[in-house]
Structures are given as structure tokens and as C-alpha cells.
Amino acid sequence: MEALMASAEINGADLVRRARGGDGVAWEEIVTLFSRRIFNLAYRFTSNADAAEDLTQEVFIRIYRTLDQYDAKATFFCVGDNVRKYPEIFEKVIEAGHNVGNHTFNHLNGWQTGLTEYVENINKCSEYVESNLFRPPYGKISRRQAQMISHHFKVVMWDVLSGDFDQTISKTTCLENVINYANSGSIVVFHDNIKSFDKLQYVLPKVLSYFSKNGYTFKSLQSAKTLKRTTELVPA
């Protein structure tokens, strides 16, 4: 507890390493393992608008069909600006029975963003994404930010990071990251952006197949029923 409290910044990846090491950190303060699977939606593009929209549709269709094949429900943590740009995809996520969460409007790094700007960006995302689940981009959030947000949102981290975004690892390593570390109750993070899609389309079907054969089901996170988004966050 003291080791965690002494740090002014919270790093999701570091928490995972420390939790696995059994050093007694206050894990439940930051993470709640609601379900057996979480799928992260935070798509960002560098190509021209038309090409990006076409690829976005293709990526989502492949993901949707793969999840549907295994009756897998996921939670999409959405960047608000992408929901604004691609509302039809967001609607398809909802219609398919998946859950959604707030991932800020502009995918902000909490360590590099002041409290007021961070809170305002979350509020802006809430105009497009109705949810009281929140995951900080990059898993980076300051203690003041976390304390403020926790009054209105359930802050959700993860315990298994696939590494699909990491250009330095292979598809096989990405797959092993999930197979070797996921178990009952795990929250597993994938991304559906262009950078990650090559690994994702290889890994996701294999992960779903492997765990299905081992008796697992795949459920979305449940919203925190005790937290109601009736007012905007206001920085103290």
C-alpha cells in the first residue's frame, strides 16, 4: 500500500507487473476485474479521410464477425472524437450487444495533461459515449485525476496486455502474451487501430478458439450501477 501511495502517478503496466509479483499493492483501488474479456476500441488514423473510413469499416467488420463467431461480448473503450467521426460504427457496436466506455475525447496521456484539461476532455467524450466506465489512455493517470474521476466513473485497467500495438514483437509473441497470462476473470486489452490490425486479425481468432475449447466464455464489463453520470466532472 505504501509503495503505491508514494507514487504521484499510476502506471497500468507497472501495476500489472507488481500485482503478478505479489507485492501487496492496493490493486482493487485502481482495477476491478468485472469479466473474462475486454476488447479495447481506440482507433486512430494517419491516412486520408476516405481511406481511413474504408479501413475503419473493414477492421470493424472483421472484428465483429470474429467476436460473433464465438458469441463473445466485448467492451469498447471509445475515443470520443472517433465516435464523432464514425457514428455508424459506434451504433453497430451498441446494436451488437457490446458495452462501451469512455477513453477521453482526444486520447490524452494523463501524465502529460493538467487536471482541468483532462476532466474537460472526459466530459466532452461523454457527450458522445454514455457510460460510467473509464479507461485512461496508455494506462497513465495521476492520483488527483483518478480521485476526481472515481466519483463519476469506474476506472478500469487490465491484467493482460496483448501488445498488439508493439511493432517490435511478433504475432506469435502477441498471442503468447494472452495465452500464457489470461485466466478466469482476466481483462485482456486489444486495439483495433491500423497499427495493431495485422497482429489483431491473427491473434484474436486464436485466442477465442483456445479459451473456448478450455471452457471459457467471453463477456463484456458491466457498468458500475452505483455510479450515476448525472452531472459533469468539475475539477476541484
pLDDT tens across 112-138, in order?
A: 999 999 999 999 999 999 999 999 999
Q: Strand, helix or coil at 202?
A: helix
How would residue 194 be classed by pLDDT, with cut points 50, 70 and 90? confident
What separation in angstroms does the CA of 106 have from each of 13, 82, 109, 120?
A: 21, 9, 9, 11
How would residue 217 be classed by pLDDT, with cut points 50, 70 and 90? confident
pLDDT at 225: 53
Which cell is 42 given?
Answer: 481506440
Mean pLDDT of all residues in 81-85:
91
Burial class for 171, CB neighbours closer than 10 Å (0-12, 13-18, 19+): middle
% of the chain beyond a pLDDT of 90: 51
Give the DSSP letter of residue 112. Answer: G
pLDDT at 232: 61
pLDDT at 36: 36
What separation in angstroms does the CA of 82 have from each of 88, 92, 193?
A: 11, 14, 11
How would residue 59 be classed by pLDDT, with cut points 50, 70 and 90? confident
Is residue 82 scored above 50 in pLDDT? yes
What separation in angstroms does the CA of 39 have from each of 79, 109, 161, 204, 207?
A: 14, 20, 11, 10, 12
Mean pLDDT of all residues in 131-160:
93
pTM for the whole structure: 0.76
Tell me what the pLDDT averaged over the chain comes to.
77
pLDDT at 145: 95
Tell whether domain 2-21+37-184+192-213 is in CATH 3.20.20.370: yes
Is residue 20 scored above 50 in pLDDT? no
How would residue 83 be classed by pLDDT, with cut points 50, 70 and 90? very high
H-type alpha helices, the chain: 2-5, 12-20, 27-30, 49-69, 80-85, 87-95, 115-126, 143-149, 171-181, 194-213
Burial class for 48, CB neighbours closer than 10 Å (0-12, 13-18, 19+): exposed
In whole angstroms, give the CA distance from residue 169 to residue 171.
7
pLDDT at 117: 97
Residues 6+ apart with CB under 8 A from 107: 42, 44, 79, 137
Is residue 94 scored above 60 in pLDDT? yes
Q: What is the CA radius of gyration of the chain?
A: 17
In whole angstroms, give the CA distance from residue 165 to residue 200.
9
pLDDT at 61: 83
pLDDT at 102: 95
Distance linking the first and last C-alpha atoms of the chain: 25
